[in-house]
Structure 1
Amino acid sequence: MRLFVQRAAFALMLTACVGPAMQAHAAPKEPVMHHATGTFEVKMQPQGEVGQAGSDGNSLGRMSLDKTFSGDLVGTGSGEMLAARSSVPTSASYVAIERVTGTLDGKAGTFVLVHRGVMRGETQQLEVTISPESGTGALAGIAGKLGIRIEGGKHYYDLDYTLPAAP
């Protein structure tokens, strides 16, 4: 009986000492995906041609972007866009960098969006991602993708994002 009590006491002590250490080495929690939606207004101001217009019919231009977001994201965006148009009216491409400042689902901070768009005929590809490690304030560590759609002349956004879990 005494041996049983000693072993039980040892097992209890081992659990008390090793249990917390094992939990400290547990796999980190996967970040929770959040979804934010709303609308935005955008003003684009031409900043001129980039270089000289090509004799091949291709032109490169630069624009400044100013946005106002409403919905789950309340704030402003400002950035620069480079665009290319070919001699074919339905083909174009653009890239842009945009700093967003505001409140996202009640969390204040900033982050940077990276845009890449390609249009060819009826086919359009648009990718807008949050630049890694660009989040500040309560948005530090934010990661995700932004979808844009235009309906009836109005711009809508759908933002899927993660934030690090609070310690």
Structure 2
Amino acid sequence: MTQQVKGEFDVKRFPEGGLDLGGGVVAGHFRFTKVFHGALDATSVVHMLAVGTQVEGSAGYVAVERINGTLDGRTGSFLTQHNGILDRGTPSLTLTVVPDSGTDELEGLRGKMAIDIVDGKHYYTLDYAFD
């Protein structure tokens, strides 16, 4: 049975220096720290690689995140993978729990997360289930 939790999170970004992709293309590398509030009471570290294109409003990013804390009373950690696209100004994001990455009481966790930014505040919606 799928469950859903929602809440707010705080985020801080730290540039890590660009990564050479060849041909004069450099991916931005950023480290983020997050603090989740609500039914997901956790902290995380994210490493993101981002690229832009010559077309304004088109870009992409990938990231891996380790989330550690409590989800609806269960303690442990899990990994997520982000795939973000900006297609001529239209954003899309797929943020998935990495299968079999849950530890301790979060073992067997599966799910997807959505992120919304409203008036400068960050919100999450996590749809999840356990094997």
TM-score by length of 2: 0.93
2: CA distance, partners of 1:85 / 1:49 = 13
Higher relative contact order (CA 8 A, sep 6+): 2
- Pair 1:53–1:85, CA change in 2 (3 A): farther
- Pair 1:53–1:86, CA change in 2 (3 A): farther
**Alpha-carbon displacement from aligned partner over 1:13-39 (angstroms, at most 9, x marks no partner):** xxxxxxxxxxxxxxxxxxx11101001
The 8 Å contact of residues 36 and 160 in structure 1, kept in 2 or not, is answered as yes
Deviation at 1:54, TM superposition (A): 5.3
2: CA distance, partners of 1:145 / 1:88 = 30
* Structure 1: 4+ residue segments shifted above 2 A: 52-55
2: CA distance, partners of 1:48 / 1:37 = 33
Bigger Cα Rg: 1
2: CA distance, partners of 1:52 / 1:157 = 31
Corresponding residue for residue 122 of structure 2:
155
SS in 1 for 2:16: strand
Query: Which blocks of at least 5 consecutive residues in structure 1 are unaligned?
Result: 1-31
Deviation at 1:123, TM superposition (A): 1.4
**Alpha-carbon displacement from aligned partner over 1:33-52 (angstroms, at most 9, x marks no partner):** 11010011111111111117
Corresponding residue for residue 43 of structure 1:
12
2: CA distance, partners of 1:43 / 1:53 = 29
Q: Identify the structure with the greater strand proportion.
A: 2
Paired residues in the alignment total 131
In structure 2, which of residues 62, 76, 86 is the aligned counterpart of residue 109 of structure 1? 76
* 1:82 matched to 2:10: no
**Alpha-carbon displacement from aligned partner over 1:43-77 (angstroms, at most 9, x marks no partner):** 1111111117855xx54111111101001100101
Query: Which blocks of at least 5 consecutive residues in structure 2 are unaligned?
Result: none
2: CA distance, partners of 1:53 / 1:91 = 19
Q: Identify the structure with the greater helix proportion.
A: 1
How high is the sequence identity, in percent, across the aligned residues?
Answer: 41
Deviation at 1:87, TM superposition (A): 2.3
SS in 1 for 2:105: helix
The 8 Å contact of residues 53 and 60 in structure 1, kept in 2 or not, is answered as no
TM-score by length of 1: 0.74
